[in-house]
Structure 1
Amino acid sequence: MKEILIRLFAHEELSHEEACNLMKGITRGDYNEAQIASLLTVFQMRGVKVNELTGFREALLTTRVPVDFSDFQPIDIVGTGGDGKNTFNISTCACFIVAGAGYAVAKHGNYGATSVSGASNVMEQHGVKFTNDESKLRRSIETCGMAYLHAPLFNPAMKTVAPVRKALQVRTLFNLLGPLVNPCLPAFQLLGVADLPQMRLYTNTLQRLNIGFAVVNNLDGYDEISLTDEFKVMTNRYETIYRPSDLGFTISRKEELYGGRTPEEAASIFDNVLQNRATKAQTDCVLINASFAIQAREPQKQIEECVSMARESLESGRAWNTFCKFVSMNS
């Protein structure tokens, strides 16, 4: 570790293999907390490169509890978190709209770190019991098109760095890795990021991993499409900045996306969206994210068609029925 730190202090980059071996050492407990904290600080200051990120990812995936959903070709919809906006559970709502539109979704999530309610919080509010039993998860995705993978049950290696992360209390490269270590290795992903440098990093990484993707960022700093300003989308095929009006939406006010003060409030907003009883701003925000997820899954479709499919899933009640069936199966 001393040699690696000296190289990193001199602004050298690690190869994929070096990063992979380093992360394996971290997960085995080979290094002390001061060394790990120093390493995380270096990467936070100079940024992580694609080779390093893919190497770290490979190491974490070797220790995961694997789940094979390859026959479903699922999509994951996730944000990096940490944008400090405390929005409601937009990406999790979008998952059920996409599943209601007929696509398999394998959502990898956790408790909220920088918001009141993360994906796991809203699931628990509805009585969902987390599991890493592949047969139960497979029945869920077969029956209602949706499986939920609670991250701590699948990534045991992350426990080794939990004390350091808690002590540092700042974002680290492990926040970047979260969206990349879904244990089922989904074929497609909609990934929301909070800034443009992250957008470029993830785009290059997902291209390297040969995953069908859309990486999205609202240009005022949301790690999802919030419709509060212009937003950027990067996929395997194009890179575009949209105004909400380009796709028939109006600008939303930031306060309209507030996620509430408690997990109970967040769950209430979640239910209102899926029952098509939410405010226009809340509904539109979820619809636009679901639309780009559908396009990531079916890149030959024009985004306008994907918006229509997402809206039909919500307004027909299929999204809510999908959620109710999911809760019934997983409680």
Structure 2
Amino acid sequence: MKQLFEQLFAGEVLTKEQTYSIMENIGQGQLSHGEIAALLTVFCMRPISTMEFLGFRTALYDLCKKVNLEGDERIDIVGSGGDGKNTFNISTLSCFVVAGAGYKVSKHGNYASTSISGSSNVLQSLGYQFTNDESLLNRQLSEANICFLHAPLFHPAMGQVAPVRKALPFKTFFNIMGPTINPSQPSAYLLGAYSKTVASLYAEVMEKAGYGFTVVHNIDGYDEVSLTDGFLKINAQGQEILFPTDIGFQQIGQEDLYSGDTIDSAKTIFLNVLENKSTSAQKNVVLVNSGLAIQTLCPEKSISDCIAEAEESLQSGKAKQTLTNLLNAQ
């Protein structure tokens, strides 16, 4: 570790093997809190490289509690967080819409760190009980097309870092790594990023790791397609900037996406969307992200056809029934 710190302090970029070794040592409790803090500080002062990120990420996979889920074609829809926008649970709602459309979703999430309500917050408020029981998760996936993996139950190595992250007055690379380490290893990801730099990093990591992927970043700072402005879309075919009108939607205001000040208010919006009682802005932002997720699984389909599938799932009540099926399968 002394040699690795000397390299880092000299401004050198580490190899994938070196960062794998560091994360392995962290997971095994071999680094002090002071050493972890020094490491996180270095990567706050300069961008993390793709290979460094891959080394940390691969080690976290190897250290996590493994879960084998049935079916090869599954997707996760998740944002990096950190955009400071305090939106309602758009990604989590999109998971239910996509599952209602007949696709398999293994959603990985946690409590909110920079907003009022994360995926774990809202699902717990709805009565979902977190589990890492493989047979139960497979049952939920079979009966509801969706299961939820609460991150702390699968990543014990993160517990070594948690007190240090909490004590530091800045975001660390663990904030952007979390969305990429779904322990069920879905075949595809729709990843939202709070910055163009993180979006590019996500795309490079997903491509090298062999996943199907779409990465989005709204140019006004959202870590999802918010319909409040144009957005960057990156996939294996390349990247482009699209605007709401390019995909059949009107631009909306940032105030239309606010989750409120409590988990209860976020829960109310969540249920309103699933019950077709939401505002058109709330509904549309869920539809566009759901459509992009479906297109990530089915790249041969047009985005308009994928959004139409998402709308049918929502309007028919299939998305709401998916939530009911998930809660009944506990």
TM-score > 0.5, shorter chain as reference: yes
Q: Is the 8 A contact 2:81 2:176 kept in 1?
A: no
Distance (Å, rounded) in 2 between the aligned partners of 1:231 and 1:119: 23
Identity of paired residues, percent?
Answer: 48
Distance (Å, rounded) in 2 between the aligned partners of 1:300 and 1:70: 24
Q: Secondary structure at the match of 1:296?
A: helix
User: Which position in structure 2 is the counterpart of 1:313?
Assistant: 313
User: Which position in structure 2 is the counterpart of 1:116?
Assistant: 116
User: Which position in structure 1 is the counterpart of 2:192?
Assistant: 192
Q: Secondary structure at the match of 1:71?
A: coil
Distance (Å, rounded) in 2 between the aligned partners of 1:135 and 1:70: 10
User: Which position in structure 2 is the counterpart of 1:55?
Assistant: 55
User: Which position in structure 2 is the counterpart of 1:166?
Assistant: 166
Distance (Å, rounded) in 1 between the aligned partners of 2:121 and 2:314: 22
1:147-179 CA-partner distances (Å, limit 9, x unpaired)? 000000000110001110010042111112101
Q: Is the counterpart of residue 99 in structure 1 residue 124 in structure 2?
A: no
User: Which position in structure 1 is the counterpart of 2:22?
Assistant: 22
Distance (Å, rounded) in 1 between the aligned partners of 2:240 and 2:106: 26
- CA offset at residue 284 of structure 1? 0.7
Distance (Å, rounded) in 2 between the aligned partners of 1:252 and 1:57: 36
1:285-326 CA-partner distances (Å, limit 9, x unpaired)? 111100100000111111111111111111111111111111
Letter in 2 for 1:25: N
Q: Is the 8 A contact 2:206 2:213 kept in 1?
A: yes
User: Which position in structure 1 is the counterpart of 2:300?
Assistant: 300
User: Which position in structure 2 is the counterpart of 1:211?
Assistant: 211
- List alignment gaps of at least 5 residues for structure 2: none
1:84-143 CA-partner distances (Å, limit 9, x unpaired)? 110000000000000011100000000011111100000111111100000000000011
Q: Secondary structure at the match of 1:261?
A: coil
**TM-score after normalising by structure 2:** 0.98
Letter in 2 for 1:86: N
- CA offset at residue 207 of structure 1? 0.3
Q: Secondary structure at the match of 1:156?
A: coil
Distance (Å, rounded) in 1 between the aligned partners of 2:155 and 2:201: 23
Distance (Å, rounded) in 2 between the aligned partners of 1:103 and 1:159: 32
1:202-231 CA-partner distances (Å, limit 9, x unpaired)? 101100000000000100000000000001
Matched ranges for 1:188-267 at <5 A: 188-267=188-267
User: Which position in structure 2 is the counterpart of 1:179?
Assistant: 179
- CA offset at residue 70 of structure 1? 5.3
Count of residue pairs the alignment pairs up: 330
Letter in 2 for 1:95: C
User: Which position in structure 2 is the counterpart of 1:273?
Assistant: 273
- CA offset at residue 71 of structure 1? 2.0
Distance (Å, rounded) in 2 between the aligned partners of 1:274 and 1:217: 25
1:181-215 CA-partner distances (Å, limit 9, x unpaired)? 11111100000001101111110110000000000
- CA offset at residue 68 of structure 1? 1.2
User: Which position in structure 1 is the counterpart of 2:31?
Assistant: 31
Distance (Å, rounded) in 1 between the aligned partners of 2:86 and 2:319: 24
1:13-48 CA-partner distances (Å, limit 9, x unpaired)? 111111100111111121211111111011111111
Distance (Å, rounded) in 1 between the aligned partners of 2:200 and 2:77: 18
Distance (Å, rounded) in 1 between the aligned partners of 2:71 and 2:308: 27
- List alignment gaps of at least 5 residues for structure 1: none
Q: Secondary structure at the match of 1:234?
A: strand
Distance (Å, rounded) in 2 between the aligned partners of 1:64 and 1:10: 31
- CA offset at residue 69 of structure 1? 2.0
Distance (Å, rounded) in 1 between the aligned partners of 2:314 and 2:307: 11
Alignment RMSD (CA, Å): 0.9
